[in-house]
Amino acid sequence: MLTQLLARAVRRNPDKAAVVQGSRRIGYGALEAEVARCAAGFAALGVGAGDGVALALANAPEFIVGLLAVARLHGIVLPLNPQFRQDEMVRLLRDTAPLVLVADATSLPVCRDAAQHMGNMHLIGVRLGDELPDFAALGLGLPAVAPPEEAWDGPALWLSTSGTTDSYKRVCCTQRNLYSEAVNFVETMALSADDTILCTIPLYHSYGIGNALLDALYLGATLVMPELPPDPVEPPFASRVAQVLELVARERVRFWPGVPHQFRVLAASPLHAAGDLDPVRLCVSSGDVLPRATFEAFRERWGLPVRSLYGSTEAGSIAIDRRPDAQVQFGTLGQPLKNVEIEIRNPDGTLLTAGETGAIWVRSPVIPPTLYDNRPAVNARVFRDGFYDTGDVGSVDAQGFLALTGRQQAFVNVGGYKVDVAEVEEVLQSCPGVSEAAALGVEVPAMGTLVKAVIVASHACTNAQVRKHCQERLAFFKVPRLIERRDALPRSPVGKVLKSELGDVSDYLARLSQGAAARLAQRWPYALPGRRQAMLEDLVGLQLADVLNRPAAGIPRNTGFVDLGLDSLGAIELRGRLEYLLARKLPETLTFDHPTVRAVAAHLLAQQAAPYDRGRENAP
């Protein structure tokens, strides 16, 4: 069915741009030729109906070509986050046993190691020179694989919930499920082929595939993606605002599916006039709850509402507020999409009436027929009478508008990334010396939401060892930034950990202000002007070392942050630490604009920023 969507777009307008990224502009006719070539290459490697191909790629045309080529062969795509650590990558590869793994510069080191655990799996590289067989050379010299005349509805895409080894669930979507995802959203929102789509969400995620790639393919619209950074470390979204807005204006973007973090950053950006988003007529947020402050700030700044799209990996897009812009209000998730039904039920399955609160159950053609194909016992609990239990709690009013009042599952949004704290807890508990562990998201001044770990551990197990253990097993955005030690975790009478008692961050903030930072603040007023640059370098270096979990003595002053291993969340934390210690607002692009310890210190000195002695707050 996906092959027929591409063929339809080619018939309508073969020269129209299908994908735009940087200097690459690929028309629908050229995309068809690339898919036919790639399909021939995959077929030569043994890929056929029911066989898997893993794509560990950042957003790039190669991801789209690979997905459609596998669909043409009736195979199954396994999209993988290229930031995964080896344990995460190996777990998913072993679970699905794909015949081919496609890697880019970001994922190559982990993919190469993971491939050693996978027997005869073929490893293919994207723009990696001679290191691996090249994706662009697949199928060259072989007969192209033409699109089949008849639509095929079989397994097409493996999507995983970000759970633990025990709770991890795999969804296997058919081509009809994917087709239905596009139909439901596009026809509900009355989109057209003229609605150019901006993709700032990862294509390896169900949201990116469903509400960017598939929508563009169904419409025959243009999908625009920001250019990939030259370095494999993903930069913070704040550093890409100018590029994103330039794309919106140049490509006349009309539909922008994003995440709350991106809209928050854009609402606070001082760089551009409100006219920059004039072409956009639809902004959609999903992946996490959109905060009221972000909704209101974005609307005031840009004159557009951000519409919350309620959905899940299992059921796809479920509900959205499709009323005119002026009528869109915060707090409502709107009405069900076309072909989607919502019921509110009691725990015993009894149907509730309008306004009553209960479990949200959904029926949709997007839900895979097998639901969790690796957890059949779970299916009986969450799939009844054709309806799926989302695990969320809410109500539907008399007009059919859905309101979400709670979540049964614990996910945390960290810098635009969705983190399953149960997965973090499993890794923490596997650390030698840790007997108990809990993970949660906490709000930290100037830094937003960070992952905090609370552990019960032996004296021989240090916090640095716990951080290192997590860094080796979790993607960077899942690694706890705060670690608190306790003699025991607080629990309810039935043994449930009381996470409401674990969210304090005062010790973390106090630690920032103590030691060398406090001494520096006290010496600052008496320091000679020529000495202050070095003092600020010491301050920045100390904080950077703590963020990187490295000794301060090993932090060079002129080496780029990216080369030192500072990721996008680390950049946010470093800026937040300095903002807290200096008691002044710093730009979100601080480490991007000033990419070394020395450069940041020079900027702070030029801004006359001085270490703030928080010990004086309570002085007489």
Domain boundary (111, 140, 173) is at: 173
Is the domain of 568 the same as that of 425? no
pLDDT for the residue numbered 413? 84
Is the domain of 533 the same as that of 489? no
- Separation between Cα atoms, residue 297 and residue 617, nearest integer Å: 32
pLDDT for the residue numbered 435? 87
Q: Which among 55-69, 376-390, 502-516 has the top mean pLDDT?
A: 55-69
Beta-bridged to residue 100, according to DSSP, are: 53, 122
Answer yes or no: is 196 within a domain.
no
Residue 422's domain is classified under what CATH number?
3.30.300.30
**Structure token digits, residue 190:** 């009355």
- Separation between Cα atoms, residue 426 and residue 474, nearest integer Å: 11
Q: Is 46 left (phi over 0), alpha (psi -120 to 50) or beta?
A: left
For residue 5, name the pLDDT band (cuts at 50, 70, 90). very high
Is the domain of 497 the same as that of 562? no
- 383, 376 in Cβ contact below 8 A? no
Least confident piece of the model among 87-91, 387-391, 414-418? 414-418
- The DSSP symbol for 43 reads H
pLDDT for the residue numbered 165? 44
Q: Indicate the residue type of 421.
A: V
Least confident piece of the model among 279-288, 363-372, 536-545, 578-587? 578-587
For residue 406, name the pLDDT band (cuts at 50, 70, 90). low
- 267, 294 in Cβ contact below 8 A? yes
Q: What is the pTM of this model?
A: 0.80
Other CB atoms within a 10 A radius of the CB of residue 40 amount to 21
pLDDT for the residue numbered 619? 39
Q: How far is CA 590 from CA 200, 260, 513, 567, 574, in A?
A: 21, 21, 21, 13, 9
pLDDT for the residue numbered 328? 96
- The DSSP symbol for 207 reads H
Is the domain of 9 the same as that of 134? yes
- 184, 340 in Cβ contact below 8 A? yes
What average pLDDT does the segment 23-52 reach?
A: 97
Give which of 4, 310, 335 is closest to 176, Cα–Cα.
4
pLDDT for the residue numbered 240? 87
pLDDT for the residue numbered 611? 72
- Per-residue pLDDT tens digits for 270-315: 766 555 889 999 999 998 778 888 899 999 999 999 999 999 999 9
- 85, 107 in Cβ contact below 8 A? no
pLDDT for the residue numbered 615? 54
Number of residues in the chain: 620
pLDDT for the residue numbered 273? 54
What average pLDDT does the segment 524-530 reach?
A: 83
* Predicted confidence (pLDDT) at residue 584 exceeds the cutoff of 90: no
Is the domain of 157 the same as that of 79? yes
- Per-residue pLDDT tens digits for 42-52: 999 999 999 99
**Structure token digits, residue 277:** 């988003």
Q: How far is CA 139 from CA 10, 108, 133, in A?
A: 21, 22, 11
> Roughly how many angstroms between the first and final C-alpha of the chain, as a whole number?
74
pLDDT for the residue numbered 268? 84
- Separation between Cα atoms, residue 213 and residue 133, nearest integer Å: 26
Answer yes or no: is 575 within a domain.
yes
Is the domain of 472 the same as that of 575? no
Answer yes or no: is 382 within a domain.
no
For residue 521, name the pLDDT band (cuts at 50, 70, 90). confident
Residue 532's domain is classified under what CATH number?
1.10.1200.10
Determine the structural domain holding residue 116 and report its residue range.
1-18+26-173
- Separation between Cα atoms, residue 517 and residue 578, nearest integer Å: 10
Is the domain of 161 the same as that of 87? yes
What average pLDDT does the segment 492-506 reach?
A: 78
Q: Is the C-alpha dihedral spanning 73, 76, 81, 86 positive or negative?
A: negative
E strands within 141-294? Answer: 155-160, 170-174, 197-198, 223-224, 255-258, 282-285
Give the distance, in angstroms, between the CA of residue 311 and the centroid of all CA atoms in the same chain. 15
Answer yes or no: is 524 within a domain.
yes
* Beta strand 387-396 pairing with 100-103: unpaired
Q: How far is CA 492 from CA 440, 455, 472, 502, in A?
A: 17, 17, 32, 13
* Predicted confidence (pLDDT) at residue 620 exceeds the cutoff of 50: no
Give which of 102, 114, 113, 60 is closest to 78, Cα–Cα.
102
Answer yes or no: is 111 within a domain.
yes
Least confident piece of the model among 234-243, 289-298, 600-609? 234-243
- Per-residue pLDDT tens digits for 56-94: 999 999 999 999 999 999 999 999 999 898 888 998 999
Dihedrals φ, ψ of 35, to 5°? -65, -45
Answer yes or no: is 86 within a domain.
yes
pLDDT for the residue numbered 77? 98
* Predicted confidence (pLDDT) at residue 121 exceeds the cutoff of 70: yes
What average pLDDT does the segment 396-420 reach?
A: 82
Give which of 496, 463, 457 is closest to 480, Cα–Cα.
463
**Structure token digits, residue 268:** 């606070």
Least confident piece of the model among 339-343, 371-375, 456-460, 606-610? 606-610
**Average pLDDT taken over every residue of the chain:** 90
* Beta strand 387-396 pairing with 358-363: antiparallel
pLDDT for the residue numbered 271? 64
- Per-residue pLDDT tens digits for 160-216: 875 444 567 899 999 999 999 999 999 999 999 999 999 999 999 999 999 999 999
Q: DSSP string of 386-441?
A: TEEEEEEEEEE-TT--EEEEEESS-EEEETTEEEEHHHHHHHHHTSTTEEEEEEEE
- Separation between Cα atoms, residue 106 and residue 231, nearest integer Å: 8
Is the domain of 108 the same as that of 45? yes
Is the domain of 483 the same as that of 527? no
pLDDT for the residue numbered 235? 73
Give the distance, in angstroms, between the CA of residue 451 and the centroid of all CA atoms in the same chain. 15
Which helix (H) or strand (E) covers residue 59, if one does?
none
- 204, 55 in Cβ contact below 8 A? yes
Is the domain of 531 the same as that of 492? no
pLDDT for the residue numbered 495? 55
**Structure token digits, residue 408:** 């049964």
- Per-residue pLDDT tens digits for 314-342: 999 999 999 999 999 998 899 999 999 99
Answer yes or no: is 57 within a domain.
yes
Q: Is 442 helix (H, G, I), strand (E, B) or coil?
A: strand
Answer yes or no: is 130 within a domain.
yes
pLDDT for the residue numbered 523? 84
How many alpha carbons fall within 13 Å on the CB side of residue 539? Answer: 35
Maximum C-alpha span of the chain: 84
What average pLDDT does the segment 546-551 reach?
A: 90
Is the domain of 41 the same as that of 158? yes
Residue 66's domain is classified under what CATH number?
3.40.50.980
Domain boundary (152, 173, 194) is at: 173
- Separation between Cα atoms, residue 289 and residue 449, nearest integer Å: 13
* Predicted confidence (pLDDT) at residue 528 exceeds the cutoff of 90: no
- Number of folded domains in the chain? 3
Higher pLDDT, 130 or 576: 576
Is the domain of 502 the same as that of 544? no
